[in-house]
Structure 1
Amino acid sequence: MRFAALFAAASLAISGVAGTPFTARDASTSDSDSTVSVNVNAVLGSDLSAANFYGAPYPPWHPRGNPGWYFGDHGYLYPHLPCLEGLLCAILRLLPLNFLHCPVKPPPKPPVNDGFTPTFRNLTGATQAGDYLTFGLVDTVAQCKAMCKEVQNCKFVNTYHDVNGKGGSTQLTCSLFSSCHDASDAINKGGQSQPDGSINYIRDSDGYCRK
């Protein structure tokens, strides 16, 4: 009952979070008492289901849009986001595919033929489209591509720097979509007022279609 016990303990420790109960079973035993029903969102501390756009229900061009997760090597910089590493990844692996799963971190120099084709590069606008799936923060383009491979129906990634936006992050924004897009859809130019009075803008926007 290793993970079943972990789920139960986490559910008791975190209160006041709404969510859908999920039945978790420890595959290492056939005992009937090895199955427990828990509040998944309470365990995760966030709703990382597809129904909630994997933690980012508002897209990046929406005034209320905030990253739903962080995937990279500097999780300590983002204590307010679910960082896809360690114990959290072990828990997510127990959940069905309609929850976010942690990808394998790509090597420092990923292969040129990585399964993605560039559709635009170095624009000052980010993709804005109705087939939005989720968005978060990453350190590299390769990490964003790795995220796409773990999100159902993901066919396109858009990475860019949201200067002055989204909490002032210096990391890349990683937006995922279910259809491929070209430069004609890179219409999110920023222009949103921030709490400190600054205006955000987009730079280094790249798009990649998954083969």
Structure 2
Amino acid sequence: MRLLSLFSVLAVVILAVVANPLTINIDLSSVLEVDLSDGNRYGAPNAPWSANAHPGWYYGIHPESHRHLRCLRGWICKLLWFFPHVLQCPKPPHIPPKPPADGYTQTFANLTGATQASDYLTFGLVDTIAGCKTMCNSVNGCKFVNTYHDVNGKDGSTQLTCSLFSNCHNSSDATNTGGQTQPDGSIDFIRNSDGWCKQ
């Protein structure tokens, strides 16, 4: 009889919790110390051609080189999964695609200017062009990637800059040739700029 009473009380408690679920509001930006929502352009509110522009994230195999950025791997990916309206880690894990079946068509190659356009979504650092395409696949509305070396920019990083846009672009939009003065007084410039349009 006691056991039956205990089960009855437990069932009532479970039904009460299910009927009135506990709501916990967590400010993700306070946990990660950066706003990774689309309203903040996924942590990179200033476009690469703007003054004070900084990458919002890093996706690649060398997170130890980018401790000041949100590196999209490990526990951060598991945490971001609970917040569907912020930048997500690419899924499945990055595997270099076999050309040309990756779903992208190259629109320009090896320019000294990067894409500058009003449909800018976000930018970060990657190890490879394939990594940038994988990031585009994980950002809602992304249709175009521009990878390039920002020489003297990015705190001396050798990684590629990966800029994402919502429309496809060609060489006529590659008007960002650098020219921004860096904190150390050097001037940045663009090399190896490639554009890829998502099919």
- Fold equivalence (TM over 0.5): yes
Counterpart for residue 48 of structure 2:
60
CA distance in 2, matches of 1:31, 1:172: 50
Task: State the shift of 1:108 in Å.
Answer: 4.0
Aligned partner of 1:106 among 66, 74, 94:
94
| Aligned-residue identity in percent | 58
Considering only CA atoms, is the larger Rg found in Structure 1 or Structure 2? Answer: 2
Amino acid corresponding to residue 89 of structure 1 in structure 2: C
Structure 2 residues without counterparts, runs of 5 or longer: 1-16
More relative contact order in 1 or in 2 (CA 8 Å, sep 6+)? 2
Structure-1-length-normalised TM-score: 0.82
Q: 1:196 aligns with which of 175, 184, 189?
A: 184
Aligned twin of 1:14: none
Aligned match for 2:23, one of 35, 49, 70? 35
Gaps in structure 1 of 5+ consecutive residues: 1-28
Letter in 2 for 1:173: T
Superposed, which structure 2 residues align to 1:94-133 within 5 Å?
94-96=82-84, 98-104=85-91, 105-108=93-96, 110-133=98-121
Counterpart of 1:142 (choices 123, 130, 141) is 130
Letter in 1 for 2:198: R
1:33: Cα distance to partner? Answer: 5.6
* Alpha-carbon distance in structure 2 between the residues aligned to 1:110 and 1:139: 17
Q: Over residues 66-85 of structure 1, what are the superposed CA-to-partner deviations in whole Å (9 max), with x where a residue is unaligned?
A: 00000000001111100000
Deviations 1:39-71 (A, max 9, x none): 111122210000000000000000111000000
User: Are positions 1:90 and 2:75 aligned together?
Assistant: no
Task: Tell me, yes or no, if the aligned pair for 1:69 and 1:135 is still in contact at 8 Å.
Answer: yes
Distance in 1 between residues matched to 2:133 and 2:148, nearest whole Å:
13
Give the deviation of 1:95 after TM superposition.
1.1
**2-side partners of 1:156 and 1:109: how far apart?**
17
Work out which of the residue numbers 59, 70, 74 in structure 1 matches 2:62: 74
Q: TM-score, normalised by structure 2?
A: 0.87
Q: Is the 8 A contact 1:110 1:142 kept in 2?
A: no
CA displacement 1:137-191 (0-9 Å, x = unmatched): 0000001001001111100000000000121111000000000000000000001
Structure-2 separation of matches of 1:139 and 1:31: 48
The one-letter code matched in structure 2 to 1:101 is Q
Matched AA of 2:23: T
Query: How far off is 1:32 after superposition?
Result: 4.7
C-alpha separation in 2, matches of 1:87 and 1:196: 34
Count of residues in Structure 1 that have an aligned counterpart in Structure 2: 182
Verify the 8 A CA contact 1:116 1:208 in the aligned structure 2: yes
Structure 1: how far apart are the matches of 2:18 and 2:102? 41
For residues 30 and 141 of structure 1, what CA distance do their matches in structure 2 show? 47
RMSD between aligned residues? 1.5
Aligned partners of 1:119, 1:108: CA distance in 2, in Å?
20
